[in-house]
Amino acid sequence: MRLPEPRGPLGESLVHDLVTRAALSAGTLDHADRVSGVAACALTDEDLQLSLAVCYELHYRGFDDVPDRWEWDPELLRLRGALERRHLTALRHLVAPPAVTGEPIDRQLTAVIAADDGPSLSSYMAKTGTLEQWREYLTLRSVYHLKEGDPHTFAIPRLSGRAKAAMVEIQADEYGGGALERMHSELFAGLMRDLGLDSTYGALWDEAPAAAFASVNTMSLFGLHRRWRGAALGHLAAVEMTSSEPSRRYSAGLRRLGFDERTTVFYDEHVEADAVHEQIASVDMCGSLVAEEPGLAPDVLFGAACSLALDGVAARHLLGAWEAGRSALRASSELAA
């Protein structure tokens, strides 16, 4: 994967260091200290979110021109930590801490989901979305779906007992039960190709807006930190508990445009799989974790709330742009800047 084009002074300095230097420059660390001081803006700050995504990507597949040794470079981890603190502050600004009750955690998760009032992007895409809007939506979602499963999977070694077994059961389906052609990331790549998009991993990062990276960065943060293992499971549970019906609508939207089951298989798979995963995620995975570690209940609910809220951020970005009659992707002038 090639390095993406920087989107500000932090990204420019970071990319330059990764390719040309043996250590981070003082200037890069200074930029990290200054970027997005306003909490409410951090999740839509192009420079911060892409730079954080670059730091995290070193734990995934890396970049063509960046030596693998950078993955655990102490100064790079210090920079990543500074960006994570701003990201977390923004999440706490966006999401009010859910109140923990005495009910089983699966019921509390259901209540958090029921209280979500974000816009329904799937309803729009089912009834109204044009082919070009579908391409823009898939471009944004490709930042996550081409690595689907991986951010949450980081949490597995941080678990034990039934919670771990339940998470492995869910993730095994994400990876196609061992069959390459059934991996959800492969099914999504096929969907992209059918709609005329480049399905190469990371190929569309330059076009994707900050909202795409904010969502995946949240998953990476939760998955890579043991302290946030409860949030990682809550986030995954919210994904599994809320994707079946939207996937049905997304599939219907593609069929409305003339595509058949060869294209809609990605969403059709989620209609079936996530209906089963809902109980495994909420009862077996999160229920077992909270039964073993009751103090993690607030983190589980926080992770779920973050998942829903960031879906709302992305939906409002897309729908707001389309309502204004413009593209939701980064403009060509921004890419050339």
Q: Tens digit of pLDDT for each residue in 35-73?
A: 866 666 899 999 999 999 999 999 999 999 999 999 999
pLDDT the model gives residue 97 = 86
Q: Using CA atoms, how far apart are residues 27 and 69, in angstroms rounded to an integer?
A: 21
Shared domain for 30 and 134, answered yes or no, is no
Check if the beta carbon of residue 52 is closer than 8 Å to that of residue 6: no
Shared domain for 279 and 140, answered yes or no, is yes
Domain boundary among 94, 127, 148: 94
Domain boundary among 46, 63, 94: 94
Shared domain for 216 and 69, answered yes or no, is no
CA angle 257, 260, 261 (to 5 degrees): 140
How far, rounded to the nearest angstrom, does the alpha carbon of residue 45 sit from its chain's CA centroid?
Answer: 16
Shared domain for 119 and 27, answered yes or no, is no
What is the value of pTM for the model shown?
0.96
How far, rounded to the nearest angstrom, does the alpha carbon of residue 83 sit from its chain's CA centroid?
Answer: 16
Report residue 128 as tokens: 């109204």
In angstroms and rounded to an integer, the radius of gyration of the C-alpha atoms of the chain is 19
Shared domain for 120 and 226, answered yes or no, is yes
Residue 331 has pLDDT above 80, yes or no: no
Q: What is the 3-state secondary structure (H, E, C) of 41-90?
A: HHHHCHHHHHHHHHHHHCCCCCCCCCCHHHHHCHHHHHHHHHHHHHHHHH
Query: pLDDT of 212-247, one tens digit each?
Result: 999 999 999 999 999 999 999 999 999 999 999 999
Residue 115 forms part of a structural domain: yes
Number of domains in the chain: 2
Residue 4 forms part of a structural domain: no
Assign residue 209 a region: left if phi > 0, alpha if psi is -120 to 50, beta otherwise? beta
3 state DSSP class of 226: helix
Domain of residue 308 covers 105-336
Shared domain for 324 and 199, answered yes or no, is yes
Residue 71 forms part of a structural domain: yes
Residue 3 forms part of a structural domain: no
